[in-house]
């Protein structure tokens, strides 16, 4: 099971790295800029989580994460040079899958370090969202998580579902699937119907 989790983790990092490389392409950055944005998107959230938890940073002693980022960056460069673009629905779907997995893994790591449920959910949100926030700040854009369809909210929802399943003594594997499906379903609904949390009234 741990091996499967590691492979899913690498896939999640690669998916987020691709989104970072796409932003670099849109901003017309050079090769180093592509790698930087891909890296901060792929491992930024997990790094901040581990620093806050005072845990060993997950990628420092495991270079497979860096290889995943490099491979995703090169694949994106090759694809964009050949095709010129990548369909938005493909990226949004892959990003939603990566987000669902990262949230649950972030929550579980916080629980492993003795954090209460509400803190663990916050760590799940950080794991899933903060890499993209760093990417957007470096690219001088308003972070997507602050302005687009439901994003961080889906992480909170998935984290709550996961922790509550554990509180009801549901097997961890089933609880993980439930948390991931909850995150994925709400994110997919937000993309399809453009759901967001508007609180201010604007003239138009």
For 104-120, the pLDDT digits (tens) are: 999 999 999 999 999 99
pLDDT at position 1: 62
Spans of all domains in the chain: 2-193
Those residues with Cβ within 8 angstroms of residue 67's Cβ, 6 or more apart along the chain or in another chain:
none
pTM, to two decimals: 0.93
**d(C-alpha 143, C-alpha 114), whole Å:** 31
pLDDT tens digits, the chain, 204 residues: what are they?
Answer: 678 788 888 988 999 999 999 999 989 999 999 999 999 999 999 999 999 999 999 999 999 999 999 999 999 999 999 988 888 787 788 888 889 999 999 999 999 999 999 999 999 999 999 999 999 999 998 888 887 789 999 999 999 999 999 999 999 999 999 999 999 999 999 999 989 888 888 786
């Amino acid at each position: 099971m741990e091996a499967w989790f590691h492979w899913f983790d690498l896939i999640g990092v690669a998916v987020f790295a691709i989104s970072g490389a796409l932003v670099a392409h849109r901003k017309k950055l050079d090769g180093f800029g592509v790698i930087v944005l891909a890296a901060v998107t792929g491992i930024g959230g997990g790094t901040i989580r581990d620093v806050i938890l005072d845990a060993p940073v997950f990628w420092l002693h495991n270079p497979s994460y860096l290889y995943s980022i490099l491979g995703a960056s090169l694949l994106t460069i090759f694809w964009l040079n050949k095709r010129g673009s990548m369909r938005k629905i493909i990226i949004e779907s892959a990003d939603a899958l990566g987000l669902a997995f990262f949230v649950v893994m972030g929550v579980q790591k916080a629980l492993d370090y003795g954090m209460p449920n509400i803190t663990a959910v916050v760590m799940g949100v950080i794991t899933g969202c903060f890499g993209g926030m760093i990417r957007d700040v470096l690219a001088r854009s308003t972070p997507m998580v602050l302005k687009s369809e439901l994003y961080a909210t889906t992480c909170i929802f998935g984290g709550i579902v996961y922790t509550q399943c554990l509180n009801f003594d549901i097997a961890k594997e089933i609880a993980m699937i439930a948390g991931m499906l909850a995150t994925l379903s709400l994110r997919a609904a937000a993309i399809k119907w453009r759901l967001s949390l508007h609180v201010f009234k604007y003239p138009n």
